[in-house]
Structure 1
Amino acid sequence: MSVAQSQPSGASADLPVTLEDVRRARSAIQNAIINTPCLKSRTLSEIFGAEIWLKFENLQFTASFKERGALNRLLHLSEGQRKAGVIAMSAGNHAQGVAYHASRLGIPATIVMPKGTPTVKVQQTAGHGARVILHGEKLEEATALARKMAEDESLVFVHPFDDPLVMAGQGTIALEMLEAVPDLDCLIVPIGGGGLISGVAAAARGLKPNMQIIGVQAELYPSMAAKVKGFEAICDGDSLAEGIAVKYPGELTYQMVKALVDDIVLVSEAELERAVSLLLTIEKTVAEGAGAAGLAALVAQASPYRGKKLGLIISGGNIDTRLLANVLLRELAREGRLARLRIRLKDRPGELFHVTRIFHEHQVNIIDVSHQRVFTKLPAKGTYADIEVETRDREHLDQLVTTLRSRGYDVRMIEAG
């Protein structure tokens, strides 16, 4: 699903961030930031019919692009501000960026995070020496406390996106991508609050005025798309892409997106899961939901990009390992490589044996069997078995089900979400 807007103009000096701002940011941060690889994916290019180049920002020290903008902001603090310290609110990646570089620079840092922030992000933020406070269920509640503490304790509030210095820092990614691949046609960029796409668009449009810039948001949180087009949107729910699950985009970032971004694509949770799985299985790289959003846009609809040379930013790789495992298993289920079949049986000796022989005939691996007699609405002499299996692909699974039914068994697939 996409939300188009009027054709944007080239970067303007009237906007909060310009190409020159991004260039200055690069000079400031380049000795402390990794110029991450920008590599062509041959396999993804074949799958989606476009030349796809991936910028691996998940290889930054904090596994996210966010440290670029955080560092640029910290480097502009006065001596007095450095001594007093900084405070930030974040669901994780901005928090780690601020905490890590503040520690490096000897600046005290306090981070306020929503209670639902993935454990891995909380632990890593604390591991950089920051004081971590968990407060509220949403970013907005964490923001309110962080702003109050900033005022009460005379701390500098480091905004995760709505700050020209932060946006300029994030835009250094575009400079690196266009140096590596000067003839890119289009950049596909995740949008939460809009800091990344604002900086990237300022740099890319400054260098190539006709460059196409596409933003990506989770369907559950279409806040920037709604603001740009003026439609009502309910932003709520548990998104895999919690890094871009922002209810209220920035005012400065809105100006940038309105002026410089061609289109905003909304992607479903299933498309985000598919993108995370593809990046791991094909590129052998771990991306969090927000980090895979660019690829999820192609999963949602590849046809508008066929034949183009695309730059996708893998913006972060901080995903809880248990959640990642769940995503991968769900994807196997969608592909038919993992399935659970509910088979109605007659309650007589050897019945389960006869069924499992059919699985053996098809060389289908049985992972788990649950045989239920009591907690069922079937007659007293009826029973069923839930059998979890591993197959080669959807066709292999369909062949098994067809054979079971041809032998007189009532078979129902228990679908994955």
Structure 2
Amino acid sequence: MQKVTLKDIQDAKKTISEIVKKTDILESRKLSDITKANIFYKCENLQKTGSFKVRGACNKIANLTDEEKFHGVIASSAGNHAQGVALGATMNGIDATIVMPSTAPLAKVTATKRYGAKVILEGLVYDDAYAKAVEIQKETGATFLHPFDDKYVIAGQGTIGLEIFEQMDYKVDTILCPIGGGGLISGVAVAAKALNPNVKIIGVQTANIPSMYESIKSGKVTTAFKSTSVADGISVKTVGELTFEIVKDLVDEVILVEEDEIAEGLLFLMENQKVVAEGSGAVTTAALLSGKYKPRSNENIVCIISGGNIDVNTLNKIIGIGLIKSGRLYSFNTNIQDRPGGLAELSKIISGFDGNIIKANLSSIGDIGSLNADMTIETFNHEHIAKIKKAIIDAGFKIKEK
């Protein structure tokens, strides 16, 4: 099995320096106050194509032979590798075909086509698209560009690790990194551990698709899938052989976060950091907000925001989930009297506690004299909800939560 070294990553940095951006590192004062640590963000959502993936894709394409380029390239991707490959291929005059899962956000599909690639949709997750891409590769003889289990791809992603240390003046204690197939964290871990063997590398994966977590737990590459995830960029059922070996040796811990925690992380980034991230880019924030990773006081932590390619409709749904998770929205059903002023009594209680009614639908329930009130209110937090709920119940209403 090929080994990825610090020199490989340093070479990759030279190769792609004219193509990719050196993305900013931003301090998060709000999250630092919450955790009592020093939290920083590496903003790969501001990278060309909106994701770190362009680094590995362009480094891989730059290292193809003339014969491999001649046959064109094919790749499978949840969306971000697709855009990196499409851009890199177009810049080099190479034909590119990308197979993406049918669940890939429309924004990623559209962008990949815009960068000049032919797109084929197949299956629900990355692994389904991968199987189709392998099938097409055998038929056409195109050069397959793996999104994570490849030495040059890993080296390209590892340039993020070099940048983090340079930008932080080597004052880095911990790096929190999203995990899908493992290409990003493998490259970052190789670079970071070579520069400082004591730095902690913490991987964060969605609990819906805990493939790397289960692989580390079992000591071998293990397929894992429970359900689809809002973090489509890390929705990989089976990690790479090469990435697994690197993660097993160099990554200190893999943490799992839930879907509503990811949504809360995404909402936090928008409101407090003024950063739009996709689900996979928000998992590192989710790990801190949920307490899944508990930092030491004054620990210098860099969270990688891996991408920002999120469909607007998906964003709207995730924001709603995040608002509920953080206690900013509360929905319930109750019965009110079918008479003038019946709704006003309930509204008075809610407004008396500074709750803001944003939806109130009334419908007949078949009982003469009663109506069902379907309510959604804006609240400050879970404590605020508890006070409003208690006041409503104390007034004689029965609440059925949704």
Relative to the length of structure 2, the TM-score reads: 0.93
The answer to whether the aligner puts 1:31 opposite 2:22 as a matched pair is: no
Which among 181, 190, 209 is matched to residue 221 of structure 1? 209
Distance, in Å, in 2 between the alignment partners of 1:255 and 1:336 is 41
SS at 1:277's partner residue? helix
CA-based RMSD of the aligned residues comes to 1.9
Distance, in Å, in 2 between the alignment partners of 1:220 and 1:336 is 23
2:328 alignment counterpart:
337
Deviation at 1:391, TM superposition (A): 3.0
Which among 389, 393, 400 is matched to residue 405 of structure 1? 393
2:28 alignment counterpart:
41
Distance 1:197 1:270, change over 3 A: same
Distance, in Å, in 1 between the alignment partners of 2:317 and 2:180 is 24
The answer to whether the aligner puts 1:90 opposite 2:77 as a matched pair is: yes
2:355 alignment counterpart:
364
1:4 alignment counterpart:
none
Distance 1:387 1:171, change over 3 A: same
1:384 alignment counterpart:
372
Distance, in Å, in 1 between the alignment partners of 2:125 and 2:181 is 14
Distance, in Å, in 2 between the alignment partners of 1:236 and 1:392 is 33
Amino acid at match of 2:113: A
Distance 1:335 1:198, change over 3 A: closer
Distance 1:327 1:145, change over 3 A: closer
Which among 147, 154, 157 is matched to residue 170 of structure 1? 157
CA contact under 8 A between 2:277 and 2:308: conserved in structure 1? yes
1:280 alignment counterpart:
270
CA contact under 8 A between 2:355 and 2:379: conserved in structure 1? yes
Deviation at 1:15, TM superposition (A): 6.2
Q: Matched residues, percent identical?
A: 42
Deviation at 1:220, TM superposition (A): 1.5
Which among 109, 115, 118 is matched to residue 102 of structure 2? 115
CA contact under 8 A between 1:15 and 1:256: conserved in structure 2? no
- Listed as ranges, the gaps of 5+ residues in structure 1 are 1-13
Amino acid at match of 2:172: L
CA contact under 8 A between 1:83 and 1:107: conserved in structure 2? yes
2:306 alignment counterpart:
315
The answer to whether the aligner puts 1:70 opposite 2:57 as a matched pair is: yes
- Please say which of residues 381-390 and 176-185 is displaced more in the overlay: 381-390
- Please say which of residues 325-334 and 58-67 is displaced more in the overlay: 325-334
1:236 alignment counterpart:
226
SS at 2:23's partner residue? coil
SS at 2:399's partner residue? strand
Deviations 1:227-252 (A, max 9, x none): 22217764131111121111111111
Amino acid at match of 2:210: P
Amino acid at match of 2:26: L
- Please say which of residues 197-206 and 332-341 is displaced more in the overlay: 332-341
Deviation at 1:145, TM superposition (A): 2.1
Deviation at 1:305, TM superposition (A): 4.1
CA contact under 8 A between 2:209 and 2:228: conserved in structure 1? no
Relative to the length of structure 1, the TM-score reads: 0.90
CA contact under 8 A between 1:103 and 1:128: conserved in structure 2? yes
Deviations 1:77-97 (A, max 9, x none): 122322321100001000011
Amino acid at match of 2:96: A
Distance 1:46 1:219, change over 3 A: same
- Listed as ranges, the gaps of 5+ residues in structure 2 are none
Deviation at 1:273, TM superposition (A): 1.3
1:7 alignment counterpart:
none
Distance 1:220 1:399, change over 3 A: closer
Distance 1:267 1:307, change over 3 A: same
Deviation at 1:192, TM superposition (A): 1.0
CA contact under 8 A between 1:15 and 1:255: conserved in structure 2? no
Distance, in Å, in 2 between the alignment partners of 1:306 and 1:271 is 23
2:281 alignment counterpart:
291
Distance, in Å, in 2 between the alignment partners of 1:302 and 1:139 is 27
Give the structure, 1 or 2, with the largest relative contact order (CA under 8 Å, sep 6 or more): 1
SS at 1:121's partner residue? helix
Distance 1:214 1:354, change over 3 A: closer
The answer to whether the aligner puts 1:246 opposite 2:259 as a matched pair is: no
Deviation at 1:268, TM superposition (A): 1.3
Deviations 1:98-119 (A, max 9, x none): 0012112211111011111111
CA contact under 8 A between 1:194 and 1:253: conserved in structure 2? yes
Aligned pairs, number: 398
Distance, in Å, in 2 between the alignment partners of 1:336 and 1:39 is 27
1:352 alignment counterpart:
343
- Residue correspondence of structure 1 range 80-229 to structure 2 within 5 A: 80-181=67-168, 182-229=170-217
Distance 1:219 1:357, change over 3 A: closer
Distance, in Å, in 1 between the alignment partners of 2:191 and 2:384 is 49
Distance 1:147 1:401, change over 3 A: closer
